[in-house]
Amino acid sequence: LLADETSPPDRRALAEELGWALGHPSCCVEAYVARSHPSGAALVGSYLAGNLGTPAYRAARDAWVPRPLPRLNGFLRHAGRSFVSFQPCRYDCPHALAVADRVAGACTLANREWLAETDRVLARPVVVAPDGGRAVVALERRIEPMRVIEAEALSEAPSDQALAAQLVGAEAPDDGLFRQRGLGWCLLVDFGWVRPGTGAGAAPPA
Ligand SMILES: [Zn+2]
């Protein structure tokens, strides 16, 4: 549909129309379109912020918030554990959460155990690298700054394996961006911040 010969304005309009046709929230569609067709100024800003990398990495950088909602974790989609089929504009977007909660609600009827397990595995911190590498991590939260104590590659891909191998022992940054050598610009999305009993997908405290 979005062939290379399509002119940029047409591609933009098509991407918007497609997102809306699929029922994705308009704020998330607009963020996707802006990311896919950046202005010159936006490109310079991304360069200065180190926000260059695979589309999945840039989407995660744009969506990052300190307290992301686990039901908006799309990093386990390849394993069939996801409630969203689009990139949220922010990991606490209320419109994206409404979609995810509707999907989860439908799952309750079909398979309550699958739902509980999915909520559990989504509520874990994820690290994504600019080259697209992804790992699920466990954090030691009782120390400041927090540290990565376990890291599991999300697939057999060399980029995932290399990332996981470097993460153990790393300090977890408050702003999400690792600065250690070998982990430059890697991003921590802490879907595990939700305390047990508060429920995955619960709104963060104001
Ligand atoms: Zn949104």
Distance 24 CA to ligand 1 centre (A): 8
CA dihedral 149, 160, 191, 118 (to 10 degrees): -110
pTM: 0.84
Q: What is the mean pLDDT of residues 40-48?
A: 83
Q: Are 178 and 186 in contact (CB under 8 A)?
A: yes
Q: What average pLDDT does the chain have?
A: 87
Distance 95 CA to ligand 1 centre (A): 6
Q: Give the least confident one: 1-5, 146-150, 185-189, 199-203.
A: 199-203
Alpha carbons 116 and 123: distance in angstroms, whole number: 11
* 162 alpha carbon – ligand 1 mean position (Å): 32
The 10s digit of each residue's pLDDT in 60-106 is 999 999 999 999 999 999 999 999 999 999 999 999 999 999 999 98
96-120 per-position pLDDT tens digit = 999 999 999 988 877 889 999 999 9
